[in-house]
A and B are shown apart, each in its own frame.
Chain A
Amino acid sequence: MARPAEIVAGFAFTLRGEGLKVPPSSVQHFHRALSELGWSQLSLVYWAGRSTLITRPESIETYDRCFDRFFRGVGDMKELAVSMPSSVLILTDEEDESGNEDDQDRADELPVDQIISLRYSDNEVLRSKDFSEMDETELKMAYRLIQLFRWSPPLRRSLRLVRSRSGREIDLRRTLRESMANGGELSLPAMKDRGHRRRKVVFLCDVSGSMEPYAKPVLQLAHSAVVGTERVEVFTMATRLTRVTRELQSKDPDRALKGAAAKVVDYSGGTRLGELLRKFNDLYAIRGMGRRSVVVISSDGWDRGDPTELAEEMARLKRVAHRIVWINPLKAMPGYAPLARGMAAALPFVDNFLEGHSVAALEKLVEVISQ
């Protein structure tokens, strides 16, 4: 029979194996919770784990699966034998699993650096070249340029009051403090006023088949935004809507993109833009993420779903967002007209319609966002 601590650790081990982040403190809480509740009832064990080991509803499915696997068929807890390596440490830090696979890339990168510095004029050509026409080396150089983008999302008035010379409200706290310095003599009152905050920026990147050559550069751009400024959220759209902000938080762009790619299971395959946008609206935008934000949608507008639904959802988003920017790489093609049904449906609700097919176009996007 396994000791309770072993069962607890073994279960946490199973959860981690399925990719859940279970910090050591949560395992301790689980252990303590069970010493309160006892082991006699499986449903209590289940709920004790639910309230201590996971912290977001997305994890519930995985948790259920693991719980089922780990505890299934256990009539009596005492009979539970835990099979796991005896050397398992509860205190593992699973922050990174860096291997040496990147070394190859690094070796490749060196000459690229030199190319950039030696052949400056090439940069200009590169900047306006369409991503779909670039070869591997050119793409790498393009990504490098994208990483250098400077972000400064626009400011909006915040509700937080800060010190201000010409403010509208008297800052009594400061006034009194300053008067104490003069032995209680009141001089001019200190003032305060509403401060500023950066607007949120939300990226919705279509990564379906037709967007293939452009999806990765846009994700690169999103990554540089996540790293370069606060309050950025990133989602990918293909057959599903996937939130990849967390994965993009790594400072190392390669690792970040790898993380995001691992999460997006549906790189190619069609898009149902309306449906996905609806999901975005329901789960995130209307509740707050979209409110007063700049929403950037990157898609060619090839929608396999119902264009009326897309129009409806765009209207909903428009009602809460500060600005909607749509980038469509096809727009750069000579003679382009937004004839794709999805694009035509969405366009009336778009504030800025941009190209996004090259480094220069993405630069323009950053500029527009910062306005």
Chain B
Amino acid sequence: MAGNIFGVDSPKALASELERFDYLADEGLSVALFLALSLGRPILLEGEAGVGKTEVAKTLSEWLGVELIRLQCYEGVDSSMAVYEWDYPRQLLHLRTIEVIEAENRSDLDAYAVEGELYSERFLIRRPLLRAIDPANLVETKDGRRLPPVLLIDEIDRADDEFEAYLLEVLSDFSITVPELGTFVAEVPPIVIITSNRTRDVHDALKRRCLYHWVEHPDFDREVEIITRRAPQVERKLAGQVAALAEQLRGAGLYKPPGIAEVIDWAQSLAVLGEIEIGEASLRSSLGAVLKYREDQEKIRSLDLTELVRSAILRGA
């Protein structure tokens, strides 16, 4: 198998590296991530809210010891927020200063020189995309490898189509041109993680450029493991029961099935309340930590809670 600059030679090796940072990736995700690293391709992660899409990027950057550069997309995000912007107040101030100096020295102002000064890197504000390809952000390891930062483009489906087209351009050759300065080219392409909640379909052209992975909710064993790692104060027994309940809640046809982050919160709040085991009363009172819709809470409360708790205790054991 071919190696890569990240020092892992198989999806398994990558998964165990990520596990050291308490991120448990299943086989599908670790293969997709491994390929993203080896082939130097962006990866598009889709899935229900709260399955840990964003967390992947955080963990990758922690593992590699590189910067996590995050671009949160929203409607109206444009190149001045995503790529670069000039520092206008400082430019104006600079102009004024030159004027004053010129008035005192009675020398003539060279318009070209002034303009050149104004549009120099000194006044350039680098936004996430530019920072991601800037060679200054490469991290050199002890053995001389140069690692790129992780670029997280979060919730791409919230941005406008026009922005997507621009992004496509940047992602295809990892270079950005600033007309007044020149072209920035990435020496090592950044690790690009794009997430989407699927409120609209991402364009096929962008998808073609990316690897794709649909992130599922974790299975029972993995979820228990995740809870105990992320919330160490939670007893193993309680973690098992919470995971069992989460599994049931997801199958109950709720408006918003609980994501992994909510389940961790839930386990944590039970632990804070001093619970070491789930009971009918504690389930009833803590439901707000995991279900965020009134209708969902009502639906679960109307079920046979005794039975729910009993089967969770059985499954969690």
List residues of B whose CB falls within 8 A of some A CB. 1-2, 10-11, 27-28, 31-32, 34-35, 38-39, 41, 43-44, 46, 74-76, 78, 80, 85-86, 88-89, 91-92, 95, 98-99, 109, 111, 114-115, 118, 157-158, 160, 197-201, 204, 207-208, 211-214, 255, 295
Contact = CB atoms under 8 A, between A and B. Distances in A.
Contact of B255 (A38, A51, A282): A282
Interface string A300-331: 00000000000010001000000000000000
Interface of A: 21, 23, 25-26, 29, 32-33, 35-38, 43-44, 47-48, 50-52, 54-57, 60, 158-161, 172-173, 175-176, 179-180, 183-184, 186, 281-282, 284, 286-289, 312, 316
Given A183-B109, A288-B197, 12 more contacts: A29-B39, A29-B211, A37-B34, A38-B1, A51-B28, A51-B211, A52-B212, A55-B44, A159-B75, A180-B115, A184-B99, A289-B200
Nearest to B99: A184
B200 A55 contact: no
B215 to A, nearest CB: 10
A54 B41 CA distance: 15
B39 A32 contact: yes
A143 to B, nearest CB: 27
Contacts of B28: 47, 50-51
B198 A287 contact: yes
Contacts of A172: 88-89, 92
B160 A36 contact: no
Given A35-B2, A183-B111, A160 B31 contact: no
Contacts, number: 114
A37 B75 contact: no
B103 to A, nearest CB: 13
Contact of A176 (B10, B27, B35, B88): B88
B116 to A, nearest CB: 11
Contacts of A288: 157-158, 197, 199-200
Contacts of A50: 28, 31-32, 212-213
B76 A47 contact: no
A123 B25 CA distance: 64
12 contacts: A37-B1, A37-B10, A47-B32, A48-B31, A51-B212, A57-B214, A160-B160, A172-B92, A173-B80, A173-B85, A184-B99, A287-B198
Nearest to A243: B201
A338 to B, nearest CB: 25
A34 to B, nearest CB: 10
Contacts of B32: 47, 50-51
A184 B119 CA distance: 13
Nearest to B201: A56
Contact of B39 (A26, A33, A43, A179): A33
A57 B75 contact: no
A173 B86 contact: yes
A29 B42 CA distance: 12
A101 B250 CA distance: 48
B76 A158 contact: yes
A36 B2 contact: yes
A158 B159 CA distance: 12
Contacts of B212: 50-52, 54-56
B199 to A, nearest CB: 3
B31 A37 contact: yes
A184 B95 contact: yes
A282 B212 CA distance: 22
Given A176-B92, A184-B114, A287-B198, A48 B75 contact: no
Contacts of B160: 160
B101 to A, nearest CB: 13
A26 B158 CA distance: 25
Nearest to B98: A184
A47 B44 CA distance: 15
A172 B80 CA distance: 12
Contacts of B78: 160
Contact of A44 (B31, B46, B200): B31
B34 to A, nearest CB: 8
Given A161-B76, A312-B295, A25 B27 contact: no
Contacts of B91: 176
Contacts of A52: 35, 211-212
Nearest to A24: B208
Given A43-B27, A51-B31, A184-B99, A160 B39 contact: no
A158 B75 CA distance: 8
A26 B211 CA distance: 9
Contact of B75 (A25, A29, A160, A289): A160
A60 B214 contact: yes
Given A161-B76, A282-B255, A287 B115 contact: no
A133 to B, nearest CB: 39
A47 B31 contact: yes
A332 B74 CA distance: 43
Q: Which are the 8 A-B pairs with shortest beta-carbon distances?
A: A288-B199, A159-B76, A172-B88, A47-B31, A160-B76, A51-B32, A55-B207, A287-B199
Contacts of A54: 212
Kindly name the residue among A29, A55, A183 whose own CB sees the greatest number of chain B CB atoms within 10 A: A55
A36 B88 contact: no
Nearest to B257: A282
Contacts of B201: 56
Kindly name the residue among A23, A33, A47 whose own CB sees the greatest number of chain B CB atoms within 10 A: A47
Contacts of B92: 172, 176, 186
A226 B119 CA distance: 44
Nearest to A53: B212
Contacts of A179: 95
A281 B199 CA distance: 11
